[in-house]
Amino acid sequence: MPDNPDSDTSAIRRVVGIDVGGTFTDIAVLEDGKLTVHKLPSTPADPSRGILQGVKEAGVTSAEFVHGSTVATNALLEGKGARTALITTMGFEDVLEIGRQNRAELYNFEMDRAPALAPSELRFGLPERVDHTGAIIEDLTPEAIQNLIGLLEESKVEAVAVSFLFSFLNTAHEDMVFDALRQMKNPPYISVSSRVLPEFREYERTSTVVVNSYVGLVMSRYLGELEGPLGKSLRIMQSSGGSITVGLASEQPVRTILSGPAGGV
């Protein structure tokens, strides 16, 4: 296919890697095989300010930006995520604490456990059920959803994680809740398990979607501060070592929990 003479080929030849540390922010510019690095003090209160200042000082106007971020990591480790509610199938509200048998100290009955990211008072079970084939055996009613919305408003939650049994086989009930919560006067950040991790095993799916919602608000706001000035070419390192769009990183920030370390590797 012939090259488009009107396209901006300079952006294609220029790749900018961005790493934010606790002390310094590094901007690495690779252009036509030449690597230059610009370093400046980080701005911990708002890491995006240091990035944008560094890009400006490096003289970069257009490029493909790739950013390894520890924003989600720090929010999780420091307990600075959103006030998060879990919506699940009635009777499975305690799945986060029940967990699995693979504990760090299997025979230690006095081991300290980290508190659940969705506390017990913010876990709500709804009367609904999908079986192991994906068939609905108990319908989720609009009345149940409206009652839930009232509870969420009273609880002043900032984020909601939705995880129903066997939702990876039938997303109907999770979709109903997602659509209804988006219509709230002040909608929270919402994640549903069938979109974040559509796989079997309710503990793994539920814990993952709760982490996603817990860090989602801070991560989506942070990325919004970057995407405007840097443009649509900005990509975010994910834990697997690849990169994803800002849109996907905002919807599924759990993918970026090890973004910074992956970028370092």
Q: What is the pLDDT of residues 58-77, one digit of tens each?
A: 998 889 999 999 999 999 99
Residue 265 pLDDT greater than 80, yes or no: no
Nearest to 163 by CA among 94, 110, 111, 115: 94
Note whether 184 and 199 are same-domain residues.
yes
Residue 1 pLDDT greater than 60, yes or no: no
Q: Is residue 180 part of a domain?
A: yes
Handedness of CA 5, 8, 10, 13 (dihedral sign): negative
Residue 8 pLDDT greater than 60, yes or no: no
Q: Tens digit of pLDDT for each residue in 139-183? A: 999 999 999 999 999 999 999 999 999 999 999 999 999 999 999
CB 252 within 8 A of CB 221: no
Note whether 114 and 163 are same-domain residues.
yes
Find the domain containing 62 and state its range.
12-76+219-264
Confidence of residue 109 (pLDDT cuts 50, 70, 90): confident
Q: Tens digit of pLDDT for each residue in 188-242? A: 999 999 999 999 999 999 999 999 999 999 999 999 999 999 988 999 999 999 9
User: What are the Cα distances from residue 163, in Å, to 106, 118, 172?
Assistant: 27, 12, 12
d(CA 28, CA 41): 15
Residue 204 has which token pair?
């793994």
pLDDT at position 62: 84
Residue 11 pLDDT greater than 80, yes or no: no
Residue 118 pLDDT greater than 60, yes or no: yes
Q: Is residue 129 part of a domain?
A: yes
pLDDT at position 263: 72
Confidence of residue 112 (pLDDT cuts 50, 70, 90): confident
- The CATH number given to whatever domain includes residue 103 is 3.40.50
User: What are the Cα distances from residue 154, in Å, to 7, 69, 94, 147?
Assistant: 52, 34, 21, 11
Return the number of other C-beta atoms located less than 10 Å from residue 138's C-beta: 14
Note whether 205 and 116 are same-domain residues.
yes
Entry field: residues in the chain: 265
H/E stretch holding 218 reads helix 202-230
**Which whole number is the average pLDDT over 12-25?**
87
